[in-house]
Amino acid sequence: MIPQKILGCLLALSAIASAPSARADDWPARPVHVIVAFAPGSTPDLLARMVSERLAQRLGKPVIVDNKPGASGNIGTDAVAKAAPDGYTLGVTISGPLAANTLLFKRLPYDPQTDIAPLTIAATQPSVLVVSPAMGAADMPALLARLRGNQGRFNYASMGTGSISHLAMAAVAARSGADIVHVPYPGSGQAVTSLLAGDTQVAVLPAAAVMPHVRAGKLKALAVATAKRSAILPDLPTLAESGLPDIQADAWMGFIAPAGTPEAILVRLQGDISQIVKSDEIRQKLQAQLMEPVGGTAAEFRATLQSDLARWQPVIRKNGIALD
């Protein structure tokens, strides 16, 4: 017969061991919060609100979007990393805070490898290389010839130092042998304004930011920075087709959770979010914003992060890019 004191200890340990699964079984019992690491109106914010509305219907509880922008997405991502791993805090972020920022900052307040549980890349948006019509470049070869023949005379805009638009153009300059002056801006809106005003002449920016101006004839789109042609912009060649291989600047957005969140909750969320973004209704809404649904697995999410790190590390080191 087990002594009462030992039996009590065993029962306590059993209760602790079974607590996560019990919470998973009861989840959700209250509203779920989705922290967006960028400002209201940004592409990650639009995605988060589209998905959260449908996720609330599936969970039977409110799903509330909270914006925590700042520090290149680090503030909001850190809030997710430090939240209780109970399934009541999720996040929406992009490549930077999970990959490139580990190279750009000397120290992050979180470790993407150990503090974050990737759920799914929900959607992606092609980045488009655009030029001012005044450049007179009908295609990428013409643009590169113009840049090489006028070293240091032209400027390119980006959404900020270390952003994917900066890294993509730095890679274009390095691969093509062109010297182009970088002019960083706080976001895509300001970068586009600089192109329209003639302060800058070239940029790689998200499709939603530039395609309305391309259609209006105010900018010229020359290529997409994707591995293959975009389904939503099929007439634009890739940079690889234009002689600049392995420059991929997919503006993907993914859902994350704090590491340690019960596996049953992670699996359900990954499945629900993937089904939501692939539904006809949300697919149409995404396409209206020039985004494409993804809805992949957590393993595919991790593989994308590793690919992003491998792609941008040499660009960041060669150009000495740092954010602190």
How does pLDDT run across 160-218, given as a tens digit for each residue?
999 999 999 999 999 889 999 999 998 888 999 999 999 999 999 999 999 999 999 99
Residue 251's pLDDT band, with cuts at 50, 70 and 90, is confident
Quote the CA–CA distance of 293 and 281 in Å, as a whole number. Answer: 11
Q: Which domains does the chain carry?
A: 32-125+252-319 (3.40.190.150), 127-224 (3.40.190.10)
pTM of the model: 0.86
Enter the tokens of residue 148: 């090489």
Instruction: Give me the sign of the Cα torsion angle 216, 220, 225, 230.
Output: positive
Q: Residues near 320 by Cβ (< 8 Å), separated by ≥ 6?
A: none
pLDDT tens by residue, 215-229: 999 999 999 999 899
pLDDT of res. 24: 66
Q: Give pLDDT tens digits for 15-45.
A: 444 444 435 678 999 999 999 999 898 889 9
Judged on CB neighbours under 10 Å (0-12, 13-18, 19+), 156 is buried
Q: How far is CA 67 from CA 80, 212, 247, in A?
A: 12, 26, 30
Cα 313 to Cα 103, 127, 250: the distances in Å are: 7, 19, 16
Q: For residue 43, what pLDDT is reported?
A: 87
Segment 121-139, tens digit of pLDDT: 999 999 999 999 999 999 9
Residue 130 · residue 203 · CB < 8 Å: yes
pLDDT at 249 over 70: yes
